[in-house]
Amino acid sequence: MSQAPAQDHPFALWSVRLAALWLATGALAKLFIGTPAFLPAFIREQTPFSLDHTYMLVIGIELAIVALAFLRPRQIWWVLAGLFVFFDFILSTQIAAGEESCGCFGGEIQVSPWLMMGIDTALLLALLASQPWRMLVSPGASLPVSVLAAALGLIGPALYLRGQLAPAPVTPAGAGATAARELPRWVVLEPEKWVGKSLFDIPELTTWLGADQLPTDGVLIFWRQGCSHCAEHLRALRGLDKGEQPITLVQIRDDLKDGRAVDVLPEGAHVAELAYPENLQVMLQTPFELELVGGEVVRALDEQAGREKLGLPAGR
């Protein structure tokens, strides 16, 4: 008499599936409503890739693991467990930093790091308690099917987001704001990589601000109306400004729903103002300053470097 094939224990099988479903929930939220701004600071600071590529890679890896967790749970449970351990580490850094939201579901859904750690830890403990290394015995789906599903999970988000990030056509001067439907999901600015480049060869500037509007000399400062650090920076700059160099103020207008913190700006014939389209999500921590000579970026100063230049005490 032939022996009935061994079956996976339901507790172990559903422990893997529930953890995978929770992972899929976060990945899909990031895919459809999130931006790289809500990646944990640890990942943003440690990644060797651009924020765009890091974001796509994070989502792709998560969805690939989800696919394998359903198709081959016996082989992938330990990867899922390791990922949840990593999540708890990331959440602990956010708790230590006093962050109010973990960013696990993008910016639209706010979840406390404490709550997220509780859920992740509960799923991890349930997974380990189910002893998947003993209770999962089925080989799962075939290798070709599993590889194809994992590849789709890994590559699919990048293909989708690339379509979302296609730049809008350059708006002619005086034509008004770019229509909301033309805006990409977000734009990443990486000023540190612009040093030594001509301002007119940087598409993140020419596409949205217009090459004919860009300055050639002086300083260019990115700011937001609701940014208290921008308010302090611009207030100090106004107090020190003697009109000796051109100043170009570039407002990032992705926080117009927030209250206004900036109360004063430098003024005078040497001051010009530019702005990104309303509600275009721009990935850059403000204030940020560029020093320009002959149209070339000679120095990029983040907030801390800018504070030192203005003689302000160390900030955040």
Query: Tens place of pLDDT for every residue, the chain, 316 residues?
Result: 444 456 889 999 999 999 999 999 999 999 998 888 888 888 888 889 888 899 999 999 999 999 999 999 999 999 999 999 999 999 999 899 888 888 787 666 788 999 999 999 999 999 999 999 999 999 999 999 999 999 999 999 999 998 888 655 444 443 444 444 478 888 999 999 999 999 999 999 998 998 999 999 999 999 999 999 999 999 999 989 888 899 999 999 999 887 889 999 999 999 999 999 998 999 999 999 999 999 999 999 988 877 788 777 765 5
Cα-Cα end-to-end distance for the chain: 73
Tell me the two tokens of residue 87.
């999540």
Burial of 122 (C-beta count, 10 Å sphere; 0-12/13-18/19+): middle
Tell me the two tokens of residue 139.
């080989």
Q: DSSP alpha helices (H): ranges in 72-142?
A: 73-96, 113-129, 132-135
Reduce the DSSP state of residue 3 to 3 states and report it: coil
Angle at 188 between CA 185 and CA 190, to 5 degrees: 180
CA distance 205 to 213: 10
CA distance 281 to 160: 18
Q: Where are the domains of the chain?
A: 10-164, 180-310
* Model pLDDT, residue 167: 58
Domain 180-310 has CATH 1.20.50: no
Question: Angle at which helices 73-96 and 113-129 pack, to 10 degrees?
Answer: 150
State the DSSP string of 152-219. Answer: HHHHHHHHHHHHHTPPPPPPPTTS-SPPGGG--S-EE--GGGGTTSBGGG-HHHHHHH-GGG--SSEE
Backbone angles phi, psi at 168, to 5 degrees: -75, 160
Contacts of 4 (CB under 8 A, 6+ apart): none
Tokens 């590529």 belong to which residue?
Answer: 53
